[in-house]
Amino acid sequence: MPDALAPPRFAYMPFGAGPRVCVGAPFALTELVLVTAALVRAFRIELAQHRPIAPVGLVTLQPETPPPFRLIPRGSG
């Protein structure tokens, strides 16, 4: 959000924090954007189930069960 305050530094820390913070974080975040862009460009992605996805707060926020997705190649109708 353009006008929003930056979140507190330790509100979100998937890569840990402090002296042992993940050294691969910039690489992982770059790779995430590139892989997501390549997938969305090549496929239309649909949820392959009808029940809602329930979030569960563990160390990270996760879906209760892994939700199945259907990847439909773009240009196939």
Residues within the interface to ligand HEM (CB under 6 A): 14-18, 20-24, 27-28
Which pair of tokens denotes residue 71? 């990847």
Residue 1 or residue 11: which is nearer to ligand HEM going by CB? 11
Say how far apart CA 6 and CA 33 lie, in whole Å. Answer: 21
Give the residue with the Cβ less far from ligand HEM, 29 or 72: 29
**Considering the complex, what minimum distance in angstroms separates the CB of residue 13 from ligand HEM?**
8
Cβ at position 76, least distance to ligand HEM in Å: 30
> What would the two tokens of residue 11 be?
């509100």
Nearest to ligand HEM by Cβ — which residue?
Answer: 24
DSSP 8-state code for residue 1? -
Enumerate the β-bridge partners of residue 43: 73
Question: How many other CB atoms are there within 10 angstroms of residue 22's CB atom?
Answer: 13
Residue 45 CB, nearest approach to ligand HEM (Å) = 19
